[in-house]
Every structure is written in structure tokens, then in C-alpha cells.
A and B are shown apart, each in its own frame.
Chain A
Amino acid sequence: AQRVTQPEKLLSVFKGAPVELKCNYSYSGSPELFWYVQYSRQRLQLLLRHISRESIKGFTADLNKGETSFHLKKPFAQEEDSAMYYCALSTGGFKTIFGAGTRLFVKA
């Protein structure tokens, strides 16, 4: 079965601390993985995709096929990073399955 698991509903860190939002997936095919972010009162938007191997706003995510994980990391959290983060898996037919989401709260 295709599934995306984000084990943490809420993650609270201090400004300047490292942050890691966990994401595990279950999919028998070749996965296309994404992180989407939703800031307060804004629409959901793409943060980064695994195929691009890019760093956006200081965030990176590495696909680990052995562990079926796609954790999102940032070495130094900022207050403006506070938002809801969704890990997403795209499968054949361009359908996307979203995880339950993790709310990140960065404290001053």
C-alpha cells in the first residue's frame, strides 16, 4: 500500500537550533517525493522536490531508499520557518499522497 508517515504532529525548537522533520514512505515503485509547506493564512506551496537535490530557504531533504525516508532538515531554524509541513509521495497517474503533516514551531 502507498503511504506517507510523518510521526510528529508538532515539533518545537528554539531559534538557531537544528531541525529535522521526519517522513517515511511506503511505495513499491520508484518514488517522487516532495515537501510542501503552509505558512499561516497562506496556501499550500511546494518547498522542495527530491529529484532537484536543491536547498530552499536553507532546507534540504535526502531520499534514503534503504530506509524509505525523506527527512527534511535545516541546520539553524528561524522564526519564519514556523509553519505546517507536509511530506508527499507522487505515484503513477500523477496522484499525490500527503502525510498527516508536522507543525513546526520555532521559539525565539
Chain B
Amino acid sequence: GAVVSQHPSWVICKSGTSVKIECRSLDFQATTMFWYRQFPKQSLMLMATSNEGSKATYEQGVEKDKFLINHASLTLSTLTVTSAHPEDSSFYICSASRPGTYEQYFGPGTRLTVT
């Protein structure tokens, strides 16, 4: 199999604080991980592509200083939402792909609510 986990599954934080979301590939090494954001009843919006050992590639319009991504190992990538605001409230989903392949394996997502 190819299982991807995310932690936490949901989090509530106060405005101005930072939140870290973890994405792990449990049974395979993922050289590339992706972070998406999904608004209610909308499709996935790619935020950034994360490669192990190098800086993440952010999509246009995504603030790299606000959404810090670290891909420290072949099985772990983290997304830190810094100085969170209510408009950052969303469903964040990560995915991972095996080396040299295009298909992605998705985590269950993290629901972030900023009050």
C-alpha cells in the first residue's frame, strides 16, 4: 500500500498564533510531497510542492513566509501556518508521490479553524 497520514486531523487556534501540520508517508519514501488547500465545495488548490532536502516551490499567490514548509526527511513534511488569521481557516490536504511517479497518495486532511 501507500499510506499517508496527517496530524492533527483538526485544530482550532487563536488569531495571531502559529499552527504546524504534519504529513507522513507511512510505508514508502516520498521524495515529493504536495500541500493543497480546499475551500468548501471547491476543488483542491495546490499551495506548494515540497522536495526532500530542498526549499519548497510555492504556487503564485501563496505567501511563503506565511505558509512555511519543511521537508526534513523522505517520510515527513510539515506545513506551519504562521500568525494565523480567520481567513486561513480551511481544509489542508497533503499528498505524496513515490520517486519517479506521478500518481499521488493523499492524507485525510486537516481542518484548521482560526478564531
| A43-B107, A43-B109, A95-B49 known; A90+B102 contact, CB < 8 A | yes
Question: What is the bound-complex CA distance between A100 and B38, given in angstroms?
Answer: 11
* Chain A positions within 8 Å of B43 at CB level: 86, 98-101
Question: What is the bound-complex CA distance between A99 and B46, given in angstroms?
Answer: 12
**Distance of A50 from chain B, by nearest CB (Å):** 10
* Chain B positions within 8 Å of A96 at CB level: 34, 46, 102, 104
Question: What is the bound-complex CA distance between A98 and B106, given in angstroms?
Answer: 13
Question: What is the bound-complex CA distance between A94 and B51, given in angstroms?
Answer: 11
- Total number of B residues with any Cβ neighbor in A under 8 Å: 20
Interface class of chain A by DSSP: strand
- B6's closest neighbor in chain A, by CB? A43
- Option from B57, B103, B108 in Cβ contact (under 8 Å) with A34: B103
Report A81-108 residues with CB < 8 Å from chain B CB: 86, 90, 93-101
* Chain B positions within 8 Å of A62 at CB level: none
Q: Does B54 contact A (CB under 8 A)?
A: no
**Distance of A1 from chain B, by nearest CB (Å):** 12
A93 touching B103 by the CB < 8 A rule? no
- Option from B32, B93, B102 in Cβ contact (under 8 Å) with A44: B93
Question: What is the bound-complex CA distance between A46 and B109, given in angstroms?
Answer: 16
Q: Does A49 contact B (CB under 8 A)?
A: yes
| A43-B107, A43-B108, A45-B106 known; A94+B46 contact, CB < 8 A | no
- A101's closest neighbor in chain B, by CB? B43
| A43-B108, A46-B103, A96-B34 known; A86+B49 contact, CB < 8 A | no
* Chain A positions within 8 Å of B95 at CB level: 44
A-B contact pairs, 7 of them (CB 8 A): A93-B57, A94-B32, A94-B101, A94-B102, A95-B46, A96-B102, A99-B43
The 3 nearest A-B residue pairs measured at CB: A90-B102, A44-B106, A100-B43
